[in-house]
Structure 1
Amino acid sequence: MESVARGGTRWKRFAVVMVPSVAASAAIGVALSQGALAASFSVSGQQFKLTVDELKGTGFVQYGAVDVGKSGKHPVAVVGLDSAKITNLCQSVVVPVPAFGNVSMTLRAGRAGGPKVIAKKLYIDADDLKANATFNKIDIGVSVDDTTKGPGPAKNDQYAPGSFAQQAESVKFTKVRQRAWATSAGTFKLSGLAMSVKKGKHECY
């Protein structure tokens, strides 16, 4: 799948701090590890957290957009990567269950010393990031419609035409800590996938 459509909304002015942001989510990893994601979706009302020890990617692009779901409209910084290799991925989501309390689902893959997580045509919609980043041949301030070094904006993403974007031939991120609304990928191979479900709040960070 070369692109992913998301729920539509009319663009409204908002400011997104354009920082180098990236991570990879296993929120829907079991399905993605076997094939492509559906062509469109609206985001849930919950965010999830991710940690990554190291991510090496080729073909990087970033731009501002809006994710839409039943919980409303959420401004995000979208990161797109042609390909990525990820070491020690952790993804967690906490679901409040009526009359029971919080339930946490945690997924881990690509443990250090073993096979890495491999993603193709990866898009991450995030609103918070902490990481160390190194870019190779970066362009900052290019029009989102004219990016050439990454996968380009996802089809039907809600963004302002001609708005600010940045791109690079390759990137390396370490010590990633990210909060995201959605992740999608053409393929997502999760080596050593392990899932746990526990009562209470147990997040990756």
Structure 2
Amino acid sequence: MSHSFGRTRWKRFAAVLVPSVAAAAALGVGMAEGALAASFLISGRTFQISADTLKVRGLSIYGMVDVTRKGTPVPVTVTGFRHAEISGLCQSVVVPIPVIGPYTLRLTGGEGDRVEARNMFIDSKALSIGQAEFEDIETGVAAGAVDKGPINPGDRHSRYFDPDGIAQQARSADLTDVQVTAVAVTAATLNVPDLTMRLKQGSRECF
């Protein structure tokens, strides 16, 4: 049974129900044209992503368990979208260096023209959104029945993917003031104008 809510505005969402800003994390991810490869082993460390705005067509949200190289399971919320446009994109990773202390690798893009991404997925631990507007949203759909947004092929074939598990999907979403803590991102294609990378001493994260 379909539960469509039309166009809905919500100020804040619980992490499992809010679309993560998948596109924003894409700066540090290897990508390839066409279908995504199988899921990879994650490092287990988190990184920060922020975006001024994110416009999504074809959204999906579902629970998953990633695995580190040492075999440690890491529960995450996966958000996928077929197409996205992002402005004011930032990604940051703090790297502790013995003796001299922490350094921050910070990447930015989309200050002029918007970043565009296709078939992108973000595996997140936490997120915050200042304002969100969904069109044709459905909550409680079975993960195996999601059709408005994509399911990562690597996740679909994982033993941790539950086709009967609860998921959320929407035809489109407009998000502003996005902040997300992520562990992994994959994408089929990504176009990043105004890409800048800086390495600075100390903790200089996106938020």
Q: Give me the TM-score of the superposition, normalised by structure 2.
A: 0.83
Aligned partners of 1:62, 1:153: CA distance in 2, in Å? 11
CA distance in 1, matches of 2:151, 2:63: 12
Amino acid at match of 2:148: K
CA gap 1:38/1:152 in 2 versus in 1, 3 angstroms: closer
Q: Give the drift of 1:153.
A: 4.1
Identity within the alignment, %: 37
- Report the equivalent of 2:4: none
CA distance in 2, matches of 1:68, 1:167: 25
- Per-residue CA distance 1:139-172 (angstroms, 9 max, x = gap): 1100000011011243334322310001110011
Which whole-Å CA distance do the structure 2 matches of 1:122 and 1:48 have between them?
17
**Structure 1 runs (4+) greater than 3 angstroms displaced:** 34-40
Structure 1 spans left out of the alignment, 5+ residues: 1-15
The residue that corresponds to 2:99 in the other structure is: 99
Evaluate the alpha carbon distance shift between residue 204 and residue 17 of structure 1 in structure 2; reply closer, same or farther with a 3 A threshold: closer
Instruction: Write the distance in 1 (CA, Å) between the matches of 2:198 and 2:132.
Output: 30
- Partner residue in 1 for 2:177: 175
TM-score in terms of structure 1 length = 0.84
DSSP-derived class of the 2:144 partner: helix
- Counterparts of 1:46-85 in structure 2 under 5 Å? 46-70=45-69, 72-85=72-85
The Cα offsets for residues 165-193 of structure 1, whole Å up to 9 and x where unpaired, read as 01110011110011000111001111110
What are structure 2's unaligned runs of at least 5 residues? 1-13
How far the C-alpha of 1:96 sits from its partner, in A, is 1.4
Output the CA distance in 2 between the equivalents of 1:98 and 1:57: 41
Contact 2:145/2:163 (8 A) holds in 1? no
Deviations 1:9-50 (A, max 9, x none): xxxxxxx95221221204425x44x75775442111310001
8 Å CA contact 1:26, 1:107 repeated in 2: no
Cα separation, 1, equivalents of 2:137 and 2:85: 19
**Retained in 1: the 8 A contact 2:15–2:127?**
no
Taking the TM superposition and a 5 Å limit, the aligned residue runs for 1:15-164 are 18-23=16-21, 24-29=24-29, 31-32=30-31, 39-70=38-69, 72-111=72-111, 114-131=112-129, 132-155=131-154, 156-157=157-158, 158-164=160-166
Does the 8 Å CA contact 2:144/2:162 hold for their aligned counterparts? Answer: no
SS in 1 for 2:205: coil
Aligned equivalents of 1:26 and 1:197: distance in 2?
Answer: 18
**1:186 counterpart SS class:** strand
3-state secondary structure, aligned to 2:83:
strand
